[in-house]
Amino acid sequence: MFLKGFIFCCLLAISIADDETNNKLFPEDFMFGAATASYQVEGAWDEDGKGENIWDRYIHSNPELIANNDSGDVACDSYHKYKEDVAILKEVGVDFYRFSLSWSRILPTGYVNKVNLPGVTYYKNLIKELKNNGIEPLITIFHWDLPQPLQDMGGWPSDFIVETFAEYARLCFELFGDDVKYWVTFNEPKQICLGGYGQGYNAPGISLTGLADYVCAHHVLQAHAKAWHIYDQEFRATQQGQVSITIDTRWFEPASDSEEDAVAAETALQFNYGWYANPVYNSDYPEIMKTRIAERSLAEGFNHSRLPAFTDEEIAYISGTFDYMAVNMYSSILAVATDEAPIAEPSYNYDMGIDGYQPDDWESASAPWFKITPWGIRKLLNWLKETYNNPTIIITENGMPDNSSVIDDVTRVRFFRDYLSNVRSAMEDGVNVIGYTAWSIMDNFEWGLGYTQKYGLYHVDFDSINRTRTPKTSAAYYKKVTETHCLVDTCEE
Ligand code: BGC
């Protein structure tokens, strides 16, 4: 009752009229969702038999790496409060909830020989609660929280991980697949590999750029493909779901009209998105990556390219392992051609070889990398359509951070309205978008930035033992959108 009253009162206060906003209805079967990820919301880090994962270890051993020495030990306490989570998802009116499975909650050592039943029960209960409330689960199998014992074996840069992940994925399909129509194998492999093993800003914090990041990516792609084939051969006929991989990128816009900057922007897109997408949606790594990394590797004194090569058989095995395209997009950047970096230490950035910046007159959000660029999502969607043969697309994350506890988050309302407007316009351009996911249903643990960055439609009180969830104005706006499929007061058919 309180919730309804709140949402109604705030909706009246939201100014949603804007001449620039697309006023076409989203199709009736268009799916609106909201997302979270296990480490960011669940808490209960060592409860009921859950094993340690690399984020537990990374943060407990180096608390100073996280803003305010925070951790996800309790986070939003979703392990205990999943019914409240489902209640707020229902209040917002989403068609689906994208959440991830904590590998170590299901398999404490990472291996399938020991299944942790309470962990399985938690996800079964969550799925049941969602279904009972008419919300479809969209499940991410891996959102960065690798079991620590598997990291002790070398983690993603070691090739045992391909088979180990495939076995874990098979178990997930077996356990939950009867109730799941949409799967994502990996969330943002670039953040796993570049962040975890290349530039070291994510767990496990290894900095071996230009080397371990490429090997990690190679295994993630093989593991993804293996999971897709397992689903295809063993589960598709009975479960009839769809499997993809979520790849993230910012939109890279040429900084000028020059041919060089256009090449720089395309190069950046290929190094950021194509690195993972080309092997899956076309075939093999992008030519520009193969050429540049091979040339620089040889000049550095290596005998072969630092970018591992797929065999023809592997290329064929990975190509086409998607049932829809899943993309995360938040912001944009201007790409500038630059002089070739000196031959020195291996580096992904040098391999890419472009400069980028975000002009001061682009509107800022609170995270350092974040400028609000709604036009970028339309350009990116059109680029995806052209580059990957017009796939069916679900936007699996989009949203914005602020760093205060503001409930009347009018900037976020405008953010969602303007980005969704550009999504709708991209659909008019002919891009086949079938779903959109707001990040996030509630404020949560934002990795290295701890709780200083808030993306939620719902505010979470991290000072209260109850982790009280309170709707923001953006929740009311998103509810209006999910109910009416319209971004403004009244829409055209
Ligand atoms: C990740 C989320 C993260 C969000 C905002 C994405 O990179 O998938 O886990 O919280 O962006 O930074």
* Residue bearing the CA closest to ligand 1, atom 9: 37
* Cα 204 off chain centre by: 18
Q: How far apart are CA 376 and CA 364, in angstroms?
A: 14
Indicate which atom in ligand 1 lies nearest the CA of residue 447. 10
Q: What are phi and psi of 355, to 5 degrees?
A: -110, 160
Q: Is the entire prediction scored with pTM above 0.85?
A: yes
Q: Which helix (H) or strand (E) holds 374?
A: helix 374-387
Beta-bridge partners for 458? 442, 471
- Sheet with strand 251-254: strands edge to edge: 251-254, 332-337, 354-357
Ligand 1 centre to CA of 408 (Å) is 22
Q: Tokens 């991989």 label which residue?
A: 245
Q: How far apart are CA 484 and CA 493, in angstroms?
A: 11
Cβ–ligand 1 distance for 397 under 6 Å, the answer yes
Question: Residue-wise pLDDT tens for the chain (493 aa)?
Answer: 334 334 434 444 455 556 799 999 999 999 999 999 999 999 999 999 999 999 999 999 999 999 999 999 999 999 999 999 999 999 999 999 999 999 999 999 999 999 999 999 999 999 999 999 999 999 999 999 999 999 999 999 999 999 999 999 999 999 999 999 999 999 999 999 999 999 999 999 999 999 999 999 999 999 999 999 999 999 999 999 999 999 999 999 999 999 999 999 999 999 999 999 999 999 999 999 999 999 999 999 999 999 999 999 999 999 999 999 999 999 999 999 999 999 999 999 999 999 999 999 999 998 888 999 999 999 999 999 999 999 999 999 999 999 988 999 999 999 999 999 999 999 999 999 999 999 999 999 999 999 999 999 999 999 999 999 999 999 999 999 999 999 999 998 7
Domains of the chain, start order: 4-254+322-337+357-484 (3.20.20.80)
Nearest CA among 290, 252, 22, 50 for reference residue 149: 50
* Cα 273 off chain centre by: 12
Cβ–ligand 1 distance for 443 under 6 Å, the answer no
Ligand 1 centre to CA of 39 (Å) is 11
Max intra-chain CA distance, the chain: 69
Peptide bond into 204 cis (omega under 30): yes
Q: How many CB atoms lie within 10 A of CB 284?
A: 17
Cβ–ligand 1 distance for 187 under 6 Å, the answer yes
User: Rounded to 5, what percent of the chain is helix, strand, coil?
Assistant: 45, 15, 40
Residue 279 · residue 314 · CB < 8 Å:
no
Give me the active site residues, please: 188, 397
Ligand 1 centre to CA of 138 (Å) is 16
Residue of 143, 396, 397 to test ligand 1 pocket, by largest number of atoms within 8 Å of CB: 397
Indicate which atom in ligand 1 lies nearest the CA of residue 444. 10
Residues 6+ apart with CB under 8 A from 279: 221, 285, 310, 315, 318, 319
* Residue bearing the CA closest to ligand 1, atom 3: 446
Nearest CA among 400, 409, 398, 401 for reference residue 453: 401
